[in-house]
Every structure is written in C-alpha cells, then in structure tokens.
C-alpha cells in the first residue's frame, strides 16, 4: 500500500489550516502532525475538524508526567481517534506502560489502539547539554539507544528519531519497532533550521517507517505538487 508522508501542520490557527487545505483536492486524505502549539490554541476541536474530513492524525504532544496522570491523559487522546501519539522516554518505563494502558482503555470499540512512540533525546539537545543539564555521562548515541531499548521494553511501537539514527536503532530492537523521522528534505529544498537532513528516498532505503515533512510542503508555492513529489520519492516511484 502507498505510504503517505506525514505533513507537519505547524500552523498557528484553524484559519491557516483551512487556507492550506484549499490547495488539495477534497478526496486527498492526508496524514498530518498536530503539535503542541496548534493543540494548545485550538484544542481537541482541531483534531475533530480534521478527522471529519477524513485525515489521519499524529498528535505530537510528548507527554511526560507521573504514570497515573499520563495514563488518564492518554485515555482522552485515544478517544479523539488519533493514529499516532507520543511520550518522552525520559519519563521511564513505568510511565510509558501507563501511557499504553491509557490508550487501550480510551480506544472505542471497533477502533485500533493508536500507535505509541517515544521521543529519546530531542534533536535540539547537544551531547554537551545532555552531559551538563541532564548529568548523563554516556555519549548521545548511547543515550538514544538506551531510551529506544527502554521504549521497546515498555511495549511501545517505536521512537521518533533522526533518520541518521535509524540503522542503529533497528539493529538494537525487534523487527516491528518503528522509527518515525522528521528532518526530511527533498533534493535541492531549503534546509531551514534543520541540521542533519535526509531525502525521502534515502530515508526509505535506510528503513524509516514514517517520515514527517513540514516546510517543504507547507511553504511550497504549490503545496499539492510538492506533496505528490515527496510522496512519490518516499514510495520509491520518483
């Protein structure tokens, strides 16, 4: 089946989303990422609005709190009918297990439990910052792999990671473990503030399971054509 790139909806309001969607045919069902800036402006209504139009949602809220609180929050997230959501692996195995349990409890009958993935080390964290701020003395790579293994142990579906980390994470985890990778840029596209990017084609070849693409689509002159081109590359049809 054809895989869709997940479009990062880094918009400030519902109006901006509506304007962006006018570029797409009504029957083009998208997979979109809603992050905390949009969610905290528009709330669950924005998820409902997009779901009613047939789009699939990755709700990127990166939960990190005590297990009981995360479990209850995840019940609510599951009720929204999202496809993917996430937590911080730094919250620990018990918190991740509670998150998963909350999703199971909140999922309506006849619906699939959302896939649950974990953020390991944020890609905005440098090795130096990790040593100093978190007092973690191993290398950044070791820390990422450790968190990936904790995530697997907790029974989650996978991690958010840089495409450059995918190979090592796949080697260290079971075959079903998912790597979802942002920082994707088609050949020749502006890199923006991303430091280590990869093309959709290369990401597929090295084993990314989902790619997240924002500005190359949302800021494109023709967002629909840009989306189709990236989708083609991601599916190895370009």
Residues 160 and 118 sit within 8 Å (Cβ to Cβ): yes
Q: Does 214 bind ligand C5P (CB under 6 A)?
A: yes
- Among this protein's residues, is 193 annotated catalytic? no
21 C-beta neighbours (distance < 10 Å), count: 17
Minimal CB distance to ligand C5P: which residue? 214
* Residue of 74, 145, 159, 160 interacting with ligand C5P (CB under 6 A): 160
Q: Is 194 in the site for ligand C5P (CB under 6 A)?
A: yes
Q: Which of 8, 38, 50, 166 binds ligand C5P (CB under 6 A)?
A: 8
35 binds ligand C5P (CB under 6 A): yes
Which burial class, exposed, middle or buried, applies to 35 when counting CB atoms under 10 A from its CB (0-12, 13-18, 19+)? Answer: middle
31 near ligand C5P (CB under 6 A): no
- The only residue of 183, 186, 200, 223 in contact with ligand C5P, by rule CB under 6 A: 183
Neighbour count for residue 92 (Cβ, 10 Å): 16
Q: What gap in Å lies between CA 51 and CA 65, rounded to an integer?
A: 27
Which tokens belong to 25? 């045919």
Round to whole Å and give the CA distance between 237 and 223.
19
What's the closest the beta carbon of residue 111 comes to ligand C5P, in angstroms? 26
Quick one: 69 or 194, whose CB is closer to ligand C5P?
194
Q: Tokens 């796949």 identify what position?
A: 170
The reply on whether position 76 binds ligand C5P by CB under 6 A is no
For the chain, what is the radius of gyration of the CA atoms?
A: 17
Site membership for ligand C5P, residue 64 (CB under 6 A): no
Binding of ligand C5P by 212 (CB under 6 A)? yes
d(CA 230, CA 224): 10
Catalytic residue among 19, 48, 56, 60: 60
Instruction: Identify residues 116-145 at the interface with ligand C5P (CB under 6 A).
Output: 122-123
DSSP E strand boundaries for 38-157: 56-63, 84-88, 115-119
**Catalytic (active site) residue 222:** no
Q: Any contact of residue 44 with ligand C5P (CB under 6 A)?
A: no
**Would residue 176 show up in a list of annotated catalytic residues for this protein?**
no
Active-site position among 65, 79, 202, 232: 65
Phi, psi of 176 (to 5 degrees): -85, -5
Who's near 197: CB < 8 A, 6+ residues apart?
A: 163, 183, 184, 185, 191
> Is 62 marked as binding a ligand?
yes
Q: What is the set of active-site residues? A: 60, 62, 65
Binding site for ligand C5P (CB under 6 A): 8, 10, 35, 122-123, 160, 182-183, 192, 194, 212-215
């Amino acid at each position: 089946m054809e895989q869709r790139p997940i479009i990062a909806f880094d918009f400030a309001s519902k109006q901006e989303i509506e304007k962006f969607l006018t570029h797409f045919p009504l029957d083009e069902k998208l997979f979109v990422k809603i992050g905390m800036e949009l969610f905290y402006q528009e709330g669950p209504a924005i998820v409902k609005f997009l779901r009613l139009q047939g789009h699939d949602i990755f709700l990127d809220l990166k939960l990190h709190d005590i297990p009981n609180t995360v479990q209850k929050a995840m019940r609510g997230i599951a009720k929204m009918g999202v496809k993917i959501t996430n937590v911080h692996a730094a919250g620990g195995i018990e918190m991740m297990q509670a998150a998963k349990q909350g999703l199971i409890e909140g999922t309506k009958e006849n619906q699939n439990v959302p896939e649950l993935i974990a953020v390991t080390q944020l890609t905005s964290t440098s090795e130096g910052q990790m040593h100093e701020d978190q007092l973690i003395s191993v290398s950044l790579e070791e820390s990422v792999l450790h968190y990936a293994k904790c995530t697997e142990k907790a029974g989650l579906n996978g991690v958010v990671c840089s495409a450059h980390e995918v190979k090592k994470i796949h080697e260290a985890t079971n075959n079903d473990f998912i790597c979802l990778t942002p920082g994707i840029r088609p050949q020749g596209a502006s890199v923006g503030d991303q430091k280590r990017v990869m093309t959709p084609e290369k990401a597929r070849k090295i084993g990314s399971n989902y790619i997240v693409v924002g500005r190359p689509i949302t800021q494109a002159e023709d967002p629909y054509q840009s989306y189709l081109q990236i989708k083609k590359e991601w599916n190895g049809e370009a």
